[in-house]
Amino acid sequence: MYHILTILLATHYPPKDSWFNWMFGPQMLGVIFLIIGSIQYHYPPKNINNWYGYRTDTSKRNQATWDEAQRYSALYMIKIGLYSIVIGLLISAILVFSRLPDGIRAAITIMFVIAGGMAPALLMIVNTEKHLTKKFGDK
């Protein structure tokens, strides 16, 4: 499977000096986190619902936990988005200036994009839940 992915990416992946390498990488997920966090911060859901906002059993316990979960998770998303942009640009710079074949470089980029999407989301959930438990207890 890895060899097939490497061959496909090697034939279709943009050259090292392409703008694509600077635009689409782990930093793009940082931009997405930043945008979503900003929208949620400026337009938080007013009432507890099942389709918009930070939704867990803890956050939906009552209106106070709901409001705090929306505020905290939005700020956390903005912060993690900024970190992801910086880290993503550093990773992209290292990969662009490395002497790796295009296919290997593409595979590494994909791995960083997958990890860069999962890790911040998991960190946001874990830290928001810890914050809510610390502030409101296990009621």
Helix (H, G, I), strand (E, B) or coil at 16: coil
User: How far is the CA of 86 from the CAs of 54, 109, 125, in angstroms?
Assistant: 25, 15, 21
pTM comes to: 0.79
Q: Judge whether residue 86 has pLDDT over 90.
A: yes
Q: Which residue's structure tokens are 């290997």?
A: 104
Residues 54 and 46: their CA atoms lie apart, in Å, by 12
Closest listed residue to residue 21, CA positions, set 10, 29, 13: 13
Q: What is the pLDDT of residues 18-77, one digit of tens each?
A: 666 666 777 889 999 999 999 999 999 999 999 999 999 999 999 999 999 999 999 999
